[in-house]
Amino acid sequence: MENRRLAAIAALSIVELWILGLMVRSVSGGGSHESNFASAETRGPTSGGFERTIATGPAPHVVIDDDDAVLGVSVRSGSTVSVSERLRTSGWGMHGFRQLSMVAKTADGVAVSGPDGAIVVAGSVDRRLDVVVPPGTTLEVKNAGSMTVAGLHGEATLHSDDGTIT
């Protein structure tokens, strides 16, 4: 009985040391990188990010449904909608994203939805989605994390389950 108890204590000690090592690596920034989701897998540091610009006309209807991203919407004159996303992870983990947020041209504008997949990280994950629209855009945010919207002249409907809206 005593040998089993010692074996269980030894096994738990090894697991605790492994977890402690992951925590130290996470806090020290080991494995930190930025990804542009250009491929199905991310291996090591990459630079840049994803950006897509779609011709829409001066008053598009833009629909965003991405509950995990911090969202920034700004205005620029013209007739295009630009969407860019950045992902920054710090720590140790696995990335299961198969691609970036879906960005598609619709009959009356652009639709943006969250990425397909998951991230498991012992550390931190920061996703930022920046959208630049024409001043007359009708903006509909079905869901997003914290968001900042500035300079919009058109109608806006904004919804966030767990963030702030500025």
What pLDDT, on a 0 to 100 scale, did the predictor assign at position 16? 85
Would you give per-residue pLDDT tens digits along the chain (166 residues)?
Answer: 678 888 888 888 888 877 877 676 655 544 443 333 332 233 333 333 578 899 998 999 999 998 878 899 999 999 999 998 887 766 665 555 545 578 889 999 999 988 766 656 566 667 788 999 999 999 999 988 889 999 988 899 998 887 788 8
Query: In whole angstroms, what is the distance from residue 92 CA to residue 106 CA?
Result: 38
Domain boundaries, given as residue ranges, for the chain: 1-30, 33-158
Other beta carbons within 10 angstroms of residue 152's beta carbon come to: 18
What pLDDT, on a 0 to 100 scale, did the predictor assign at position 18? 78
What pLDDT, on a 0 to 100 scale, did the predictor assign at position 107? 92
What pLDDT, on a 0 to 100 scale, did the predictor assign at position 46? 33
Amino acid 135 reads P
Q: Which two tokens stand for residue 66?
A: 């991405």
DSSP-derived secondary structure letter, 38: -
Query: In whole angstroms, what is the distance from residue 100 CA to residue 88 CA?
Result: 13
What pLDDT, on a 0 to 100 scale, did the predictor assign at position 28? 53
What pLDDT, on a 0 to 100 scale, did the predictor assign at position 156? 92
Q: Which two tokens stand for residue 32?
A: 């930190």
What pLDDT, on a 0 to 100 scale, did the predictor assign at position 92? 63
Amino acid 84 reads S
